[in-house]
Amino acid sequence: MNFTAIAAIYKFEMARTFRTIMQSVISPVISTSLYFVVFGAAIGSRIEEVDGVSYGAFIVPGLIMLSLLQQSLTNAAFGIYFPKFVGTVYEILSAPISAFEIVIGYVGAAATKSIALGLIILATAALFVDLRIEHPLWMIFFLVLTAVTFAMFGFIIGIWADGFEKLQLVPLLIVTPLAFLGGSFYSINMLPEFWQDVSLINPVVYLISGFRWAFYGASDVSIAVSLGMTLVFLAATLGAIAWIFKTGWRLKS
């Protein structure tokens, strides 16, 4: 294992966060605070509790997961796309470092940044609502697992994209709508039965449900199903990345 190479990629990607701290940290925190103000005032006054939890506290896991998905994906996508754009990816590919170590460097940095942001948002949320975390270890586990999974998904998007527009295509048109429709701000049990069944097609439902269970012990779907679906998505992204490096798709052409 070439730890020196992994550390070099990791440190470079982490340093980019501090150069763009307004975009990477401050902007998401302000956006989340606005969600609390708007949804807490406009909807929270009309919905007292959901599954025995105050509405303001109920949306906290969804807001954290919404930011986590977006930031993990975006950071990893841009991290690998920029070397492709400037041509330095060929230096990385020709260096004495394996594909596995390259992925660890880029995905590890993207996941670290999104996890840190998720914890900052959690601390920010505590200023607005009374929080409780019934299963803190599970909360951390889901936080890390989701961050790593979507960072790898973002890594795939960064390799697939051949322009800056495509980097925003999947986060804006696919991931964000799925997150909003995945129970970030409501329980799918509040929907008519037909739409509950439709919602179960959305993979983000399982991520948010499992994460919310770690907070309040209540979820829309079984915790075992949530964990299983997340691990399936993780395995799919791992398989896709392995195929990309084996074939050189979008990397060597």
The residue ranges of every structural domain in the chain are 3-247
Residues 162-200 pLDDT 10s = 888 888 888 888 888 898 889 888 899 888 998 899 999
Rounded Cα–Cα distance for residues 89 and 92 (Å): 5
- 155 neighbors 106 (Cβ within 8 angstroms): yes
**Alpha carbon distances (Å) from 195 to 29, 79, 129, 202:** 31, 37, 29, 11
**Between 1 and 14, residue with greater pLDDT:** 14
Rounded Cα–Cα distance for residues 211 and 65 (Å): 8
- 211 neighbors 142 (Cβ within 8 angstroms): yes
Average pLDDT over residues 7-27: 81
Give the pTM.
0.91
Average pLDDT over residues 33-43: 72
